[in-house]
Amino acid sequence: MPSGPRLLLENVCYHIVSRGNQKRKVFIEDEDFEYYLMKLRKYKRRYDFSLYGYCLMPNHPHLQGEIKEAKNLSCFMHDLIRSYTAYFNKKYEKVGYLWQGRFKSYVITKDQYVINCINYIEHNPVRAGIVTTASEYKYSSYRERALGILDRAPMLNNLSI
């Protein structure tokens, strides 16, 4: 059964998740995480995607952000996923699908939920038992956010995080 049309709205944040096919790892070595982040930076600039938080779990990435033109969300994710899949399949001599279906995108409309969602995303490795504190995990936005490197959601200007 085909999926219905994706909900695309202007001026909202999205929580985006792509799952590894059959819950398999999509990031195996440090180089894989770093390659994905390099591609994320590239397509973030190309599609004017403001990144507010992220966490790359071994079998799925989480992204939170806002795209200038909602119609470009699918293009942004398509290019990111396609380029990473090509890299992964070549490196590990695989063929076929790396991802389980299409990416999921959840609209975030409430200011406080933006903060709660970022915290949820960044604490995934703690809940999974990979690390004991979010600051220990190299492949999340936790340390970058603490240092002020990430984009700041305009709706957060009056909230403390």
Q: What angle do CA 12, 84, 4 make, to 5 degrees?
A: 45
pTM here? 0.82
Ramachandran angles phi, psi of 122, nearest 5° = -70, -20
Q: Measured between alpha carbons, how far is 47 from 77 in angstroms, rounded to an integer?
A: 10
Check whether domain 13-156 has CATH 3.40.50.620, yes or no: no
Q: What is the pLDDT of residue 51?
A: 93
Give the model's confidence band at 144: pLDDT under 50 very low, under 70 low, under 90 confident, else very high: confident
**Do residues 6 and 73 lie in contact, with contact meaning Cβ atoms separated by under 8 Å?**
yes
- Please name the residues in contact with 108: beta carbons below 8 A apart, sequence gap of 6 or more: 12, 13, 14, 15, 64, 114, 117
**Do residues 19 and 59 lie in contact, with contact meaning Cβ atoms separated by under 8 Å?**
yes
Which two three-digit tokens encode residue 106?
A: 């959840």
Give the model's confidence band at 2: pLDDT under 50 very low, under 70 low, under 90 confident, else very high: low
